[in-house]
Amino acid sequence: MEYEQLKLENQLCFPVYAASRLITREYQPFLDKLKLTYPQYLVLMVLWENDCLQVNDIAKKLILNTNTITPLLKRMEHQGLIIRNRSDKDERKVLIKLTEEGYNLKVKASQIPEELIKRLSDSELEIEDLVKLKESLNSLILFLSK
């Protein structure tokens, strides 16, 4: 019996996984200049949209477990990018707020999406294809995260 369903070339997950890793690799030169990892960049993007969020809210937005994000946030605090404080209303909740340094990285990081699009425009894909791909992936994420 061949087990066609177990061939790597027949899997949905592998091209999504590989594309994710390769796109993240494309970000790395830009993030290295800012001394950030990709997960740190994601956290900052969430906080640039809405500063002063609970750890659970950041984890939910990034589809991560709190035990995954907590060490990341501790490192970011040591780097001087965020401040972690317990909520006055509920000590079980930890609030994350940008420092001035974390907020100021927004200006430097603002060029990254445009630079990445320039890089991807060298591929055979048109911008419209990339937008459609993003929309399809967002639909899949929404469905799977229910």
What pLDDT was estimated at residue 89?
Answer: 86
pLDDT for 123 beyond 90 = no
Tens of pLDDT, residues 72-105: 999 999 999 999 999 888 888 999 999 999 999 9
Domains recognised in the chain with CATH numbers: 4-144 (1.10.10.10)
pLDDT for 70 beyond 90 = yes
In angstroms, the CA 82 to CA 57 distance is 15
pTM: 0.90
In angstroms, the CA 25 to CA 38 distance is 9
Chain mean pLDDT for the chain: 93
Average pLDDT over residues 53-71: 95
Nearest to 136 by CA among 56, 9, 19, 47: 19
Tens of pLDDT, residues 9-24: 999 999 999 999 999 9
